[in-house]
């Protein structure tokens, strides 16, 4: 059963670790956000791809959710001698990935090819596709001006008020992206920020169309639990952009292409309002702390959408 | 009194440290070999420039003579995951220099400009000029084929027998190189390998001509003491290329443009044969271990050539 997942960074990676542990890895394709890519120090850095890859490889820094476990920061402190104070953390081991990617891209290879090589070098099983081979960073329009997403997120620590998220048009999806959605039995929108993690993937030409035409069950997992984001600025962005900070707002953003939504037990009261959008709802514990949590959630989601499909379920008729 | 020094790596850097301690730094210009430059991991690495810069900055690894003191090698071990086993050592702190240089070169700046910025960032006083802005690596023709100098030197540990050294033609000297030789009061050929450190500088268009026409005293310091090189493969190269392994052979290589030669006390017996080439000889202790050794040698060399010049000395008449 082919499973395709649209993924941002840390939240997605936790779920994907459970998915990897509960599904044959050669049936999993991950479409990773590259809207948060940034060029710094002459290097092409793909934070979401790397977070997913490192997490599935078991080398991620579990305390932060990004970077490599037990990494050191000697190079970064020396980079500051030349470039001034660093605001984007890059560990010494992590740097090797960016250096390899950058050199390979400069030698004419595509991000799809390099991502696959890095995946393979780190022994990760599931296929990881960048949403696009283009460099098309997302910007955030704030009340202090427009800035690269990482400037807003890391340098400014999400402090400026957000007025608009601008997902760049990358021109085309990477090879295999549309096909992976169309050929999947289950397409999963991971528990990621809908604006800056999933939004850029959806803004990639062909992705929404593929989600609309696929015969896959399309299920989103809430990134909001009890009115708060487990990771990152999803809550702040919902609020700043005029949405209620709730799972129902996320379901509404996705309503035109998801048929199923996974809601946290804490938000069970939102079930009927999401069902009212014509979306089936699974209410369960979506907070993933232990490896067991992750595996259980992945199994439960897959069991639900597939058994539901076997019973002839699909989009609810309103 | 303007002093211009032609320099390779470790041996030169030791002497230059003494020179820096005994001469106003704004009177010193160092013309550094770039024939040993190499591109690895997508980075432009300039080992001789860096050895000189790190040494004069007081941050060099004194145990090895190259790299940064107390450096770590976390990135290099991770690079091996992607590129296979590393044979060229690059410390984490050292990498920052290569990353900065590479990014600046890619953005269109010249090696001369970047070298000066790195010098400045590390607080080094003397001007450091690359011999050329071009990338023109030296190759070594061995009985196992032709290879990049660093492949011969580092990867193969000088094991293949040398048949020829091929200094690439870099097209042009870097801005200021010829002028620095012509305007100097003293031009010093540092105690470096004549083939792979000084040879590429001499092969740079305009350098030998400048040494010939300059009014500077041109003095070379022997890199060979007691028939052995203090550092590197100078002795092996002299032998493989059909020269006697002695200071006299080095003096002979330089005879067309040096008027003075600094010989070690251990080789005092060679004095007359060097003088027979029309070259004045200073015999002294050229082995530099302590900071005092370095300073003393620099002072002694400068005193000798300047007092000698004041007495009306110049090239010996044969």
CB contact under 8 A, A122 and B81: yes
B208 vs B317, residue with greater confidence: B208
Size of interface A-B (CB pairs under 8 A): 87
d(CA B181, CA B204): 13
Q: What is B176-190 written as a DSSP string? A: THHHHHHT-SEEEE-
CA angle A226, A247, A184 (to 5 degrees): 130
Residue of chain A with shortest Cα separation from B116: A82
CB contact under 8 A, A68 and B83: no
Which of B92, B106, B117 lies nearest to residue A75, judging by beta carbons?
B92
Using DSSP, how many helices (H) and how many strands (E) does chain A show?
13, 14
CB contact at 8 A, B149 and B181: no
B159 CA to centre of own chain: 22
Q: Which residue's structure tokens are 């070690």?
A: B264
Q: Is residue B194 part of a domain?
A: yes
According to the model, what pLDDT value does residue A229 have?
87
The helix (H) or strand (E) run that includes residue B147 is: strand B145-148
What residues of B are in contact with residue A44 (Cβ under 8 Å)? none
Reference B154, options B117, B196, B120, B182; nearest CA is B196
Q: Is residue B63 part of a domain?
A: no
d(CA A218, CA A189): 8
d(CA A27, CA A188): 13
d(CA A5, CA A305): 14
Looking at chain A from residue 84 to 123, which residues have their Cβ under 8 Å from any Cβ of chain B?
91-97, 99-100, 102-103, 106, 117-118, 121-122
**Best A38, A40, A41, A42 residue to mutate vs chain B (most B CBs within 10 Å):** A42
A233 vs B144, residue with greater confidence: B144
| Mean pLDDT, all residues of chain B | 94
According to the model, what pLDDT value does residue B318 have?
40
Provide the pairing of β-strand B186-189 with B3-7: parallel
Query: Does B309 have pLDDT greater than 90?
Result: no
> Quick one: average pLDDT of B70-77?
96
CB contact at 8 A, B241 and B195: yes
Closest-CA distance of chain B to residue A77, Å: 8
According to the model, what pLDDT value does residue A317 have?
43
d(CA B206, CA B217): 18
CB contact at 8 A, A255 and A247: no
CB contact at 8 A, B53 and B118: yes
Region of residue A312 (phi > 0: left; psi between -120 and 50: alpha; otherwise: beta): left
CB contact under 8 A, A97 and B118: no
According to the model, what pLDDT value does residue A310 have?
57
> Quick one: average pLDDT of B8-21?
96
d(CA A174, CA A191): 22
Query: Does B310 have pLDDT greater than 80?
Result: no
d(CA B143, CA B126): 40
Non-local CB neighbours of B179 within 8 Å, separated by 6+ positions: none
What residues of A are in contact with residue B123 (Cβ under 8 Å)? none
> Quick one: average pLDDT of B277-295?
94
**Strand partners for A146:** A141
Non-local CB neighbours of B77 within 8 Å, separated by 6+ positions: A93, B86
CB contact under 8 A, A82 and B42: no
Q: Is B118 helix (H, G, I), strand (E, B) or coil?
A: helix
What residues of A are in contact with residue B103 (Cβ under 8 Å)? 41-42
Closest-CA distance of chain A to residue B104, Å: 8
Q: Is residue A89 part of a domain?
A: no
What are the DSSP E strand ranges found in A9-99?
Answer: 28-32, 38-40, 43-45
d(CA A309, CA A74): 52
Instruction: Work out the number of other CB atoms within 10 angstroms of the CB of residue A64.
Output: 13
Q: Is B60 on the interface with A (CB under 8 A)?
A: no
Q: Which residue's structure tokens are 């390779």?
A: B8
Domain count, chain A: 1
Closest-CA distance of chain A to residue B182, Å: 32
Non-local CB neighbours of B9 within 8 Å, separated by 6+ positions: B33, B36, B47, B48, B51, B52, B65, B66, B192, B197, B232
Q: What tokens were used for A244?
A: 């209620």
Closest-CA distance of chain A to residue B137, Å: 20
CB contact at 8 A, A52 and A7: yes
CATH number (domain holding residue A277): 3.40.50.10680
CB contact at 8 A, B85 and A100: no
Q: Is residue B185 part of a domain?
A: yes
What residues of A are in contact with residue B72 (Cβ under 8 Å)? 72, 74, 92
CA angle A154, A69, B64 (to 5 degrees): 100
Residue A189 half-sphere exposure toward CB, CA atoms < 13 A? 32
According to the model, what pLDDT value does residue A318 have?
40
Reference B19, options B56, B50, B73; nearest CA is B56
**Strand partners for A282:** A262
pLDDT tens for B16-57 read 999 999 999 999 999 999 999 999 999 999 999 999 999 999
**Strand partners for A40:** A43
CB contact under 8 A, B74 and A72: yes
Residue of chain B with shortest Cα separation from A95: B75
Which of A71, A72, A78 lies nearest to residue B96, judging by beta carbons?
A78
According to the model, what pLDDT value does residue B317 have?
43
Q: What tokens were used for B210?
A: 């400048």
Which of B68, B81, B106 lies nearest to residue A42, judging by beta carbons?
B106
Q: Which residue's structure tokens are 């607080």?
A: B123
**Position B311 confidence tier, pLDDT thresholds 50, 70, 90:** low
Instruction: Work out the number of other CB atoms within 10 angstroms of the CB of residue A316.
Output: 15
Q: Is residue B118 part of a domain?
A: no
**C-alpha distances in Å from residue B10, one per residue of A274, B67, B95, B136, B251:** 71, 10, 19, 20, 20
Q: Is residue B270 part of a domain?
A: yes
Residue of chain A with shortest Cα separation from B93: A75
d(CA A96, CA A53): 14
Domain span at residue B175 reads: 1-36+125-318
CB contact under 8 A, A41 and B72: no
Closest-CA distance of chain A to residue B47, Å: 17
Non-local CB neighbours of A88 within 8 Å, separated by 6+ positions: A38, A40, A45, A150, A154, A155
Would you give per-residue pLDDT tens digits along chain A (318 residues)?
999 999 999 999 999 999 999 999 999 999 999 999 999 999 999 999 999 999 999 999 999 999 999 999 999 999 999 999 999 999 999 999 999 999 999 999 999 999 999 999 999 999 999 999 999 999 999 999 999 999 998 899 889 999 999 999 999 999 999 999 999 999 999 999 999 999 999 999 999 999 999 999 999 999 999 988 877 889 989 999 999 999 999 999 999 999 999 999 999 999 999 999 999 999 999 999 999 999 999 999 999 998 866 565 555 544
- What letter does residue B27 receive in the DSSP assignment? G
Which of B43, B96, B122 lies nearest to residue A79, judging by beta carbons?
B96
Which of B71, B99, B118 lies nearest to residue A41, judging by beta carbons?
B99
**Best A53, A59, A75 residue to mutate vs chain B (most B CBs within 10 Å):** A75
Q: Is residue B58 part of a domain?
A: no
According to the model, what pLDDT value does residue B313 have?
56
According to the model, what pLDDT value does residue A21 have?
94
What residues of A are in contact with residue B90 (Cβ under 8 Å)? none
CB contact under 8 A, B117 and A82: yes
Which of B42, B72, B91 lies nearest to residue A103, judging by beta carbons?
B42
Reference B138, options B207, B194, B68, B76; nearest CA is B194
Which of B92, B102, B117 lies nearest to residue A72, judging by beta carbons?
B92
Q: Is A42 on the interface with B (CB under 8 A)?
A: yes
Q: Which residue's structure tokens are 């690596």?
A: B137
Which of A74, A81, A94 lies nearest to residue B72, judging by beta carbons?
A74
According to the model, what pLDDT value does residue B256 have?
95
pLDDT tens for B184-238 read 999 999 999 999 999 999 999 999 999 999 999 999 999 999 988 877 889 989 9
Q: Is residue A170 part of a domain?
A: yes
- What letter does residue B209 receive in the DSSP assignment? H
CB contact under 8 A, B93 and A75: yes
Closest-CA distance of chain B to residue A71, Å: 8
Q: Is A79 on the interface with B (CB under 8 A)?
A: yes
Residue B126 half-sphere exposure toward CB, CA atoms < 13 A? 33
């Amino acid at each position: 059963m082919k499973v395709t997942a649209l993924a941002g960074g840390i939240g997605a990676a936790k779920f994907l670790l459970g998915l990897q542990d509960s599904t044959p890895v050669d049936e999993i394709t991950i479409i990773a956000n590259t809207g948060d890519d940034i060029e710094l120090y002459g290097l092409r850095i793909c934070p979401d791809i790397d977070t997913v890859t490192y997490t599935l490889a078991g080398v991620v820094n579990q305390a932060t959710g990004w970077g490599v476990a037990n990494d050191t920061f000697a190079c970064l402190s020396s980079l500051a001698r030349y470039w001034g104070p660093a605001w984007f953390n890059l560990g010494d081991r992590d740097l090797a990935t960016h250096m390899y990617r950058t050199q390979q891209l400069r030698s004419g290879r595509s991000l799809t090819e390099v991502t696959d090589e890095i995946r393979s070098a780190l022994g990760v099983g599931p296929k990881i596709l960048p949403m696009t081979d283009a460099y098309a960073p997302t910007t955030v329009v704030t009340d202090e001006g427009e800035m690269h997403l990482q400037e807003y997120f890391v340098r400014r620590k999400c402090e400026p008020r957000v007025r608009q998220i601008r997902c760049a048009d990358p021109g085309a999806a990477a090879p295999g992206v549309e096909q992976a959605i169309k050929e999947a039995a289950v397409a999963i929108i991971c528990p990621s920020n809908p604006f800056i993690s999933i939004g850029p993937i959806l803004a990639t030409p062909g992705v929404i169309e593929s989600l609309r035409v696929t015969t896959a069950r399309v299920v989103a997992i809430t990134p909001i639990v009890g009115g708060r984001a487990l990771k990152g600025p999803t809550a702040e962005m919902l609020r700043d952009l005029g949405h209620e900070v709730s799972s129902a707002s996320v379901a509404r953003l996705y309503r035109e292409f998801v048929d199923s939504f996974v809601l946290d037990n804490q938000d069970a009261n939102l079930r009927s309002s999401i069902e009212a959008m014509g979306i089936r709802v699974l209410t369960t514990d979506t907070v993933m702390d232990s490896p067991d949590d992750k595996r259980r959630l992945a199994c439960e989601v897959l069991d639900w959408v597939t058994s539901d499909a076997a019973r002839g379920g699909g989009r609810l008729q309103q």
